Chain A
Amino acid sequence: MTTRAGAGTRQCQTIAGDEDVVRVRQLVRAHAVAAKLSLVDQTKLVTAASELARNTLVHGGGGEASIETIDPAAGNGPRLGVRIVFSDKGPGIADVDLAMTDGYTSGVGLGLGLGGARRLVDEFELDTAPGSGTTVSVTKWAR
């Protein structure tokens, strides 16, 4: 990777295939290191990103991920951390509570994607409606 993730940087990655899920994981790892997350927290965030990127691909029909290092020195947040926003223009989620339930799956997965990802991060926001796509925003703060 030629561009090094640094404080306050933001990168976008299109999610259109399997290989893009791998790229999202690598970008998130670089940002997590830049934000000085512990190894366990890096692992949790990268795992959550992997689940959500696959959701974007499989259920949203593709979309994009925006990854940002948050740094008070760069003036874009209160403390060091990483925020990732996944967005797609897919069918959206009709029953959010049901989708968040462990074990619920609309198809191929284990049904751990959304609920599992929420447990691995510090902040989790889901914005969706039937027919208008899905946006998931997750944040992990450095301790």
Chain B
Amino acid sequence: MDRVPILKIGEVLLVSIQVDMQDQMAMRLQTDLGERIVETGCRGVIIDITGLDIVDSFVGRTLSTIASISRVLDAETIVVGMRPAVAITLVELGLSLNGIRTAMNVERGMQLLSVGPPAPEPVAVDDSDGFPRTLYAVARTAYAENGQAKQQPT
């Protein structure tokens, strides 16, 4: 039976699903991935589903299970490349991909695995001449934390 190929790129295992999977094939991927994680000691798994027209409850559950298995084996799973129509359908179907991190594409998935979430930029506060620069720093910190500019009192 056909298998989904698993590629090792640096410390990451990359799985690109390009065909309409039979259920057996999805089950096989689950087993194969577990073995490859242990074999390679990789800490991250990226599953590219750009090629999937649909994700039904079976495939969704398989992705969740893969993520759980990986976590137990000390690797993180990121699903990338979900089509918008697939996302809409998944939500309506009632499937929440539990424990799965997602990213737009393989590149962003790789970034997530290598550096984690972006930390807020450290802001140097120069108090020597006082007021304006400090306020600027406060505003920048607030921006970094809240994602929006803080209104300065007038």
* 0/1 string, A40-70, CB within 8 A of B gives 1: 1011101100110010000000000000000
Which residue of B has the minimal Cβ distance to A110? B57
Interface residues on chain A, number (Cβ under 8 Å) = 26
B18 interfacial contact with A, CB 8 Å:
no
Residues of B within 8 A of A (CB): 20-24, 53-58, 60-61, 83-86, 88-89, 92-95
For A111, the closest partner residue in chain B by CB is B57
Q: Chain A interface (Cβ within 8 Å of chain B)? A: 18-19, 21-22, 25-26, 29, 39-40, 42-44, 46-47, 50-51, 54, 102, 109-110, 112-113, 115-116, 119-120
Total CB contacts across the A-B interface at under 8 A: 71
Q: List 29 A-B contacts (CB under 8 A).
A: A21-B22, A21-B23, A22-B22, A25-B53, A25-B54, A29-B53, A40-B85, A40-B89, A42-B85, A43-B53, A43-B83, A44-B89, A44-B92, A47-B54, A47-B55, A47-B56, A50-B54, A50-B58, A51-B93, A54-B23, A102-B94, A110-B60, A110-B95, A112-B57, A113-B57, A115-B94, A119-B92, A119-B93, A120-B89
For B93, what are the chain A residues with a Cβ–Cβ distance below 8 Å? 47, 51, 112, 116, 119-120
